[in-house]
Structures are given as C-alpha cells and as structure tokens.
Structure 1
Amino acid sequence: MILVTGGLGMIGAHTARALLALGHDVVVTAHRRVEVPAFLEGRVTVETLDVTDRAAFLALGERHAISDIVHLAGSIPGDDPVDFFRTDLTGLVNALDAARTWGVRRFAVASSLGVYAGRPEIPWTEDLSLPTTALPHLIIAFKKAVEPLTTHSLAGSGVQPVVLRIGTIWGPLVDPASPFCPIPSLVNSASPPPDLHTGDGGDVCYAPDAGRAIALLTTAPTLQHDTYNLSSGRPFTYGEFAAVMGIDLPPGGVNSPHLDISRLTADTGFKPQFDVAASVADYKKWRETNPR
C-alpha cells in the first residue's frame, strides 16, 4: 500500500488517482481538507492525520503495510514565518521518521521549480547548481531546504529519496483564484484577469498529468537519480489558453522559464496526455459539478 500525505489536495488527489490506475492500493491522509473528490470516493483509504503528530503518524504503520510514501502535505504561510517553517518541518521530519521506521522502498517529496530562481538558463535542468539568491516566497524557501534534509536523512537507510521539483500545476481541485497561476481565472471567467498579455506564460502542467508523473516515479522498478523535474516539458503562453476560450488578450508579455523533463521521460516513459484544448475541456467539464 502506498501512502500519500496531503492526498486530498490537488496534486495529492491526482497522484492517488494515478496510483490506483497503476493497480496499487492507496491510503491518503487528510487534515484541513476532508472532502473526497468523486474520482477517489470509495477507492482509497482516508486517514485523518495531522502530520505534525509523530505518534499518530507512526501509528499508521500499525494499521497499514505501507511500501512507499509520497509526502505532499503542507501548510499555507500566515503572518508568522517561524510558525510556518516549524509546522512544515515537523511534518517532513515525521514523514522521514516513518519512512525509516517502516523501511519503505521509496520516499517521494515535493520540492518546487522555484528552487532554480536566479539561474538564467532556459529550460531549467536538474544538473544546474542551485544558486544562493533571494527567494520570492516562504514556500519556495522551505522547498529548497526540503531537498538536502530529505537526502541526508535517508542516506544509508535503504530508503530511496525522490525529490520532485514540481512545476506550475493547475486543474481539478485547484483554487479557482490561485495566486500562482492565472489559468483557472482565465478559464472560469468571461473576461481575462487584469494585466495578462498574450505572450505571458512559462511552465504549466495539467494536474492529472502531474499526478501520473509522480505515480510513475514512485512505482518505477528502478530510478537512476534522486531528483526529477516534474511538469509538461515545454513552455506555454496564456495566449494559447485564451485562443481556446475565444478570449482576446492584449499583445506583449514575458514567457518565464520552464522545466526540462528529459530525465523524467527517460526513467519512466512519462509524456503529458493533455494539450491546451484537452485540459481546458476537461477542466470546464469538471467545474460543471464541482466548486473547485
């Protein structure tokens, strides 16, 4: 059985869905978000868990034979950055403790494309050294720290770490007003968000594709690396999405860097299944009966 922490969030739920499609049993943890999406209802075991509770976390291993862990649980920063770091660091350490205690095969953990901030190369590849630079968000700062904390914690344990440098993900279960990606607002609204231009864009991946990539990395018989970029592998412009929607955007804009996924494809065979038109159609159909 594979454990997905934060398994009812956007990326976690799609990861669980993809693991099920590959024939695996899945247990997901839920804390703040407890609504089970229709595509998981009756198909996964849901455990209510605050991942900062070490004893409760380790007790999962007494109820389930867990073979692998995908750690995606996280919080949203508030006014106190120390409180955010304490919460997410405690959850990470407890997950790593569980991985070592249970002797799981593989431990996959969420990092971010933001760790490359400061590198001028396009696209970003995993062999780039991560620069020392000012980071734009507390979440990115934490994700950058997650990487060495995970690999050092699991060194010599027999548990294989898999660092997931996750790109810009959108799709079913995303916050419709996400501050990290304007595509949900563009698709959901009859008019485009302000200050959006046809040439703006960069790294984008549809959530079901992202979930499938994580599932493949978690279950692949062998992996050649411990760090993988995870996205669509090409840059998109918001003008592409606007064209599918029949919306006009003003000219101009800047296309931001994107992730190279050659390593992911080579080791798992992953290729995105959703292009712009397919992702918009799938998301619009989902939103007909779902609030997010």
Structure 2
Amino acid sequence: MILVTGGLGMIGAHTARALLHLGHDVVVTAHRRVEVPSFLEGRVTVERLDVTDRDAFLALGSRHDISDIVHLAGSIPGDDPVEFFRTDTAGLLNALDAARAWGVRRFAVASSLGVYIGRPEVPWTEDLSLPSVALPHLIIAYKKAVEPLTTHSLAGSGVQPVVLRIGTIWGPLVDPQSPFCPIPSLVNTATSQMHADDGGDVCYAPDAGRAIALLTTAPTLNHEVYNVSSGRPFTYGEFASALGATLQPGGSSGPYLDISRLTADTGFKPEFDVPASVADYLKWRETNPR
C-alpha cells in the first residue's frame, strides 16, 4: 500500500488516482480538506491526520502495510512565517521518521520549480546548481529547504529519496485563486490582463499525478531529483484559443522544466495538450466547484 499525504489536494488526489490505475492500493491523509473527489470515492482509504502529530503519524504503520510514501501535505502561510516553517517542517520530519521506522522502499517529496529561480538557462534541468537568491514566496523558500532535509535524513537508511521539482500545475481541484497559476481564472472567465505570448511552464494535473506515480513505483531510478511537468513551454494565447477567446498581443514566455530525466527513467509522456486539458477541465467544472 502506498501512502499519499495531502492526498485530497489537487496534486495528491491525481497522484492517488494514477497509483490506483497502476494497480496499487492507496491510503491518503486529509486534515483541512476532507471532501473526497468523485474519481477517488470508494477507491482509497482516507485517514484523518494532522501530519504534525508524530504519534498519530507513526500509528498509521500499525494499521496499514505501507511500502512507499509520497509526501505532499503542506499548509498555506499566514501572517507568521516562523509558524508556517515550523508547521510544515514538523510534518516533513514526521513523514521522514515514519519512512525510516517502517522501512519503506521509496520516499517522494514535493519540491518546486521555484528552486531554480535565478538561473538564466532555459529550460531548467536538474543538473543546474541552485542559486542563492531572494525568493518571492515562503512556500518556494520552504520547498528549497525540503531537498537537503530529505536527502540527508534518509542517507544510509535504505529508503530511496525522490525529490519532485513540480512545475506549474493546474486542473480539477485547483484553487481558482492560486497565486502560482493564472490559468484557472483565464479558463473561468475567458478574459485576462495577460498577453498572448506570456506563459512558461504548465502541466495538467492528471499528467503530473501520473508522473509522480511512475516515479514512486518505477522498478529502479537513476537519480534522486526529478523535474515534474509537461516538458514544454506554453503561452496563454494557446489557452485563450482553446476557449475561442483572444488576448492582447505581445508578452514573453518564461522558463520551463526539462523532463528528459523523468521520461528516460519512467517512460512518462504527457497525455494532455492544451485543447484536451481545457475541454477536460470545463467538463469537470460542469458538476464540480473547483
């Protein structure tokens, strides 16, 4: 059985669905969000868990035979950055404790494409050294710290770390007000202040979930760090075109993630192009609020 913390969030839920499709039993943890998406209902075991509670976390191992962990649980920063870092670090360390105590095979953890901020190269590849620069958001700063915390904590344990440098993900369950991805607002309203050639890294959530599931279950992996995204840049003009709308001309595309390493080790290729992702999302929104 594979444990997905934060498994009812957008990326977690799509990861759980992909793992089920690959034939694995899945247990997901939920804390704030407890609504089970229709595509998971009756198919996963849901454990109510505050991941900062170490004893409760470790007790999961007495109820489930957990072979691998995908740690995606996280909080949203409030006014106190120290409290945010304390909360999410406690959850990470408890997950790492559990991985070592249970002797799992693989521990995958969410990092971010934001760790590359400051690198001028395009696309961003995993072998780039991460620069020491000011970061624009507390979540990105935390994700950058997650990487050495994870790899050093698991060194010598027999548990294989997999750092997931996750790109700009959108799709069913996305927060329409997300500061990291303007596509939901564009799709919802078909209007935007963006320019047609603005854009950069984008990946549809079912594709991202499948990539993470493949990295979690692959027989062997040759690396500890993997970019997770579509592997190509997109423009917002492409999304507008799929909606039958137009944007102001101009703009420029931003950086994007290279996924050659992911593809080489798992065979992953995205299944959704822009028209297919927009159509799938609009169909989802017909009967779902987000």
TM-score w.r.t. length of structure 2: 0.99
Can you give the 5+ residue segments of structure 1 that lack an aligned partner in the other structure?
A: none
| C-alpha deviation, 1:246, in angstroms | 1.0
**For residues 101 and 288 of structure 2, what CA distance do their matches in structure 1 show?**
39
Distance 2:27 2:269 in 1: 26
RMSD over aligned Cα atoms? 0.5
* Unpaired segments ≥5 residues, structure 2: none
Task: Trace 1:231-242 onto structure 2 (pairs within 5 A).
Answer: 231-242=229-240
Partner AA of 1:276 in structure 2: V
User: Is 2:13 aligned against 1:13?
Assistant: yes
What are the superposed Cα offsets for residues 95-134 of structure 1, whole Å, 9 maximum, x if unpaired?
0000000000000000000000000000000000000000
Equivalent in the alignment of 1:251:
249
Which residue identity does 2:57 align to in structure 1?
F
Rounded to whole Å, the distance in 2 between the matches of 1:286 and 1:79 is: 34
Q: Paired residue for 1:148? A: 148
The Cα of 1:193 is off from its aligned counterpart by 2.4
Task: Measure the CA separation in 1 of the matches of 2:191 and 2:167.
Answer: 23
**C-alpha contact 2:230 2:259 (8 A) present in aligned 1:** yes
Give the Cα separation in 1 of the matches to 2:10 and 2:181. 14
Percent same amino acid among aligned pairs?
86
Q: Which amino acid aligns with 1:179?
A: P
2:252 and 2:87 mapped to 1: Cα distance? 35
Structure 2 residue identity aligned to 1:282 = D
| CA distance, structure 2, for counterparts of residue 2 and residue 110 of structure 1 | 16
CA-CA distance at 1:177 after TM superposition: 2.3
Q: For residue 69 of structure 1, what is the amino acid of its counterpart?
A: I
Aligned pairs (5 A) from 1:1-292: 1-189=1-189, 191-194=190-193, 196-292=194-290
Give how far 1:66 is off.
0.2
Distance across 1 between alignment mates of 2:40 and 2:129: 38
Q: The residue matched to 1:164 in structure 2 has which SS?
A: strand
Q: Deviations over 1:59-102 (max 9, x none)?
A: 00000000000000000000000000000000000000000000
Distance 2:2 2:170 in 1: 24
Amino acid aligned to 2:218: A
TM-score, normalised relative to structure 1: 0.99
Deviation of 1:38 (Å): 0.2
- Give the 4+ runs in structure 1 shifted more than 2 A: none
Q: Is the contact made by 2:110 and 2:143 (CA closer than 8 Å) also made in structure 1?
A: yes
In the TM superposition, residue 263 of structure 1 has moved relative to its aligned partner by: 0.1
Q: Residues 249-286 of structure 1: CA distance to partner in whole angstroms, max 9, x if unpaired?
A: 00111211000000000000000000000000000000
Question: Does 247-256 or 222-231 show the bigger shift?
Answer: 247-256
Instruction: Determine the C-alpha separation between the residues in 1 that align with 2:215 and 2:92.
Output: 19
Q: Is the 8 A contact 2:170 2:181 kept in 1?
A: yes
- Say which SS state the counterpart of residue 282 (structure 1) adopts: helix
Hey, what's the Cα distance between the residues in 2 that align with 1:248 and 1:287? 21
What is the SS of the residue equivalent to 2:164? strand
Partner secondary structure for residue 28 of structure 2: strand
Deviation at 1:178, TM superposition (A): 1.9
Residue identity opposite 1:71 in structure 2:
H
